[in-house]
Amino acid sequence: MRGSGFVAQIPSWSVAWKGDGFRGDMQLKRWAWIWAVPSLAAGLAAGAPAWAQQPAVIAPPAAAAPVAPPTLSPAQAEVALAVLREANLHGLRPQDYLPADPSDGTALIEGLARYAHDLKVGRLALGDFPANWAVRPQPYDPAPELARALAEDRLKAWLDGLAPRYAGYVALTRGLARYREIAAAGGWKTIPAGSSMAIGSTDPRVPALRARLAAEDPQLTDLTSPTFDPALQEAVVRAQKRFGLKPDGVVGNGTLAFLNQPVGQRILQIIANLERWRWLPATMPATRVQVNSGAAIVTLFRDDKPVLSMKAVSGKPGDETPMLVSAIHSVVINPPWNVPTRIANEELWPKQRRDPGYFARNDYVVLPTEGGGSRVQQKPGPKAALGRFKFDFDNPFTVYLHDTPSKGTFDLYARQASHGCVRLEKAQLLAEALLASDPKWGREGIEAQLATGKTLRVSLSEQVPVYILYWTAFAGADGQMHFRADPYNWDRLLLTKIGLVGQAQAKKDA
């Protein structure tokens, strides 16, 4: 206190953790603050701070006795080493956590803390998330929980509870183990290029095709027949479905490219998707709309069970649909399309200049804006790019879910073709499901409003969470792994950021 003639003594508890705790490099420097928090009562007297009642000159207080860092019992050290040695079960690397000297208790505790952090919220630092990866974990400091687990002798139970509990995550860990077994057995061989193979073919590559399919498909048992028979065709169809390809049973260049991906690439793809699961909260709402932009699929969940699923069209590379979490607050019936300036300038105005009747034929109008500018809007109707329904939720990317008059794109198997918003195959069914709690907006009410051609925004009585995620590896209902082509190259980018893929190779692949 300036001019008081007193020297303020800052109580030791208030600075005890300065420089301590779990840092960005995940090194635990000191642990005293976890166990030792001196009582504050001694620092107060008669309602005034203790220092205010002291003489002007005060000898510095005696140094506090050092507090011993946490230690592991022999049994706890054994548990810790066993868990860290199996970090690869979760797609983590044991060498990132195991101490060089297993008997070094301090290094082992630090390794446990790094492992706990990475398993619960992932290895990517928050500052390394690109802007359009807006699904991010909450900051997590494992030090206090680790300290309590050690003090209460429940280290194994605590460590076992860190990984995500989602069925999708658990299924990926099983897939990871299986594909590592395939790799340990030698993986699979590349099928040479050639003409398409289909039922009836006697191509000399047919046995190689059988061997390749059997590596992932236990239903295919005949590995020797040189003829492309119905059983082999069925195996090809199953593989095409797992890859998100047209299931025509014909092995052309597209199917061959997926089959020839090395098993190591599939393992890395699983690891990247395990990492994304760690960014999610411990649980998701039981009722939600979930979008997988990597596979272009939208699913409505109720009571945590899928009740409506449909194809979608997500953003094309360069206009990627961002990962985000929000809540649908309204359904717009007969929506107009307020064309973003970039799209208007780069796509629509050039068409209008080449063909002066383009705007009129496609129901575009030019509206004035404040300041003497203008913007382009497409009126609602049969030609409207947003179709008949738009689903609004707050987000900084100005993306939304919407209907479309262009249904042909849903027949494609690579459906990343929009400017970033998500087009829905069954938009009216989703609207009916979200508005089902309001008797006014049953199917008849919605149809009546559609018939008017007028725009109406209907607010939901209860907002419905929406999760836009990016999955390129996931398990099907039968437990078989499904893979997609990483259309945004986000698997590669993530693996590069966490040090599993080299920068030079990532740039080459980009």
What's the N-to-C CA distance of the chain in angstroms? 60
Dihedral sign computed on CA atoms, order 390, 393, 399, 400: negative
CA–CA distance, 504 with 137 (Å, rounded to integer): 28
Q: Which residues in 213-360 belong to E strands, given as ranges?
A: 288-292, 297-302, 305-315, 324-333, 337-338
- Assess contact for 403 and 422: CB atoms under 8 A: no
Best CA proximity match to 423, nearest among 432, 435, 410: 410
Determine the Cα–Cα distance for residues 491 and 471; give it in Å rounded to an integer.
Answer: 9
CA distances from 344 to 27, 319, 354, 455 (A): 51, 15, 14, 22
| Integer Cα distance of 486 and 470 in angstroms | 9
C-alpha–C-alpha distance, residues 289 and 464, integer Å: 7
Rounded alpha-carbon distances, angstroms, from residue 14 to 39, 57, 67, 315: 11, 22, 16, 51
Q: Is 419 a catalytic residue?
A: no
Catalytic residue chosen out of the listed positions 90, 117, 329, 402: 402
Q: Are 379 and 336 in contact (CB under 8 A)?
A: yes
Residue type, 41: A
**8: which 2 tokens?**
């303020």
Longest dimension (CA), the chain: 102
> Packing angle between helix 263-277 and helix 167-184, nearest 10 degrees?
160
402 belongs to the catalytic site: yes
Which of 90, 117, 329, 421 is catalytic? The answer is 421
Counting Cα atoms < 13 Å in the Cβ hemisphere of 212 gives 21
Supply the Cα-derived Rg of the chain in whole angstroms: 30
Contacts of 497 by beta carbon, 8 Å cutoff, 6+ apart: 124, 128
Asked whether the beta carbons of 223 and 277 are under 8 A apart, the reply is no
Cα–Cα distances (Å) from 67 to 11, 144, 267, in that order, read 17, 16, 45
480: left (phi over 0), alpha (psi -120 to 50) or beta: beta
Query: Within a 10 A sphere around the Cβ of 392, how many other Cβ atoms?
Result: 18
Cα(187)–Cα(264) distance, integer angstroms: 8
Name residue, tokens 């998707």: 273
Q: How far is the C-alpha of 236 from the C-alpha of 230, rounded, in Å?
A: 10
Residue with tokens 């209902």: 477
Distance of CA 326 to the CA centre of its chain: 14
Residues with a known catalytic role: 402, 421
